[in-house]
A and B are shown apart, each in its own frame.
Chain A
């Protein structure tokens, strides 16, 4: 487990299997047009990983629903960001 996974492991989630609340609109844009790829560095839950081909993989299971990725993707607006369905997603015990 890497640094952030270890942290996320302590959190409580109710996963909405098969219905991610965040999507990359066009993966091609991440791979070939975006040079910054800030999402891979700034997401506090490490949901965005940079692949060997320069593409971005998004796995929302550990998402803390902060909104960072949506805001920093300001050049291409390539992040489709919704709240999870009611009752799903991260459920803070202490907040």
Chain B
């Protein structure tokens, strides 16, 4: 395999495929390498797909991509041990009449997306693990794979090898991840007859519902849970900072079982046929965790570059965006006959800084610290708001003013006036 390519893309997730597809359209000879049996076979997500970043690459994706349901309803639940207080937003259409959020199954979606790149001329090599980067001096000139005679050369290597990015660590591009920089998520996919799901969630046709959950289900750990409707299945999962799992020593699957047994979910989930159990790390370090993004002959995209906006549960869109922008950057450089050096490739980061990618990540860069240092947001408040709702809703002969007083006192007792005010300020500053 002494062949030479213009570019090698390591990984066939949304970031790698967006990069490969963009390069191929720019006339580049691209080799994309995937370690799984097929693209998607190693990939895990909730999963919600946002239309915007995909639409820029494949405007007609709605007609051909394997989409599950488009979201018409999003619920946010704050859970106590037995109850929850929640909000619901439901709207049949989006602004321009086209749905903009879909549930997907990544194993199927990624396969389709990679096929679109192949149609543009990308050569996809599956069942091949990249072991290391090949260098000449400082410059990356190719990759070493686990195939026989497995060295392949190219002008540029794009690392889209996911959150663990062993390649980036081996090459000294990025240090080992810290347990506080990633969340561990576990998920099950449970199958049902389609009409059962539609009745249970009040949806029809391709409509879908997403439920995001916070509160005592994570036992004080920084994390969230979710329940998404697919066409014939539900995805239910929970994720918390890995540093919290390590401290609490709660097996993730035990946490997931408790979530499924919560009175708020039990009825929604009953009689499902569980067909897959998955686990995956999610970059949570935000803006500060983003490593050096390019060097002589290489760029890094997607989860490997820690591009996840955990506040808005966005990741696959940032993956596609960074993949596309990385590809556009190198295409432009070559057109201008400029070499793909570290200095020139700085334009990749500059372009991201002026896009929503870095703007959003910068905006929320303090959220994790605030939650980490204020665990009562995850335990005390869910309990307080749930008890408040219960107190106010129960008709038991106690007059309403006394009930109001009881609620106010319960908040003051647990957090004091000063505590309440400072909590409000902290939250405002973290999310503003």
Contact = CB atoms under 8 A, between A and B. Distances in A.
* Chain A partners chain B: yes
Given A44-B253, A86-B35, A87-B126, A95 B179 contact: no
B281 A95 contact: no
Contacts, number: 141
Contacts of B249: 38, 41-42
A71 B177 contact: yes
A71 B36 CA distance: 22
A45 interface: yes
Contacts of B250: 41
A14, A45, A95 — most chain B CB neighbours (10 Å): A95
Interface in B176-215: 176-179, 182, 184, 186, 188-189
B108 A94 contact: yes
A71 B274 contact: no
Nearest to A67: B164
A89 B41 CA distance: 10
Given A3-B257, A85-B146, A94 B176 contact: no
B276 A10 contact: yes
B121 to A, nearest CB: 22
A79 to B, nearest CB: 11
Contacts of B163: 67
Nearest to A82: B166
A38 B274 CA distance: 28
Given A72-B246, A86-B146, A92 B277 contact: no
Chain A residues touching B, majority SS = loop
A74 interface: yes
A68 interface: yes
Interface residues of B, number: 53
A11 B276 contact: yes
Interface range for A: 35 or more
Nearest to B243: A72
Contacts of B40: 92, 95
Interface in A1-50: 3-4, 7-8, 10-11, 14, 36, 38, 41-46
Given A68-B279, A93-B275, A46 B253 contact: yes
B218 interface: no
22 contacts: A10-B275, A10-B277, A11-B276, A14-B37, A38-B249, A44-B253, A45-B279, A66-B281, A70-B164, A70-B176, A74-B176, A74-B178, A83-B35, A86-B35, A86-B145, A86-B146, A87-B128, A92-B40, A94-B105, A95-B43, A95-B108, A95-B278
Given A41-B249, A67-B164, 19 more contacts: A7-B274, A10-B274, A64-B277, A65-B42, A66-B279, A68-B184, A68-B279, A83-B35, A86-B35, A86-B129, A87-B35, A87-B36, A89-B42, A91-B42, A92-B43, A92-B107, A93-B276, A94-B108, A95-B45
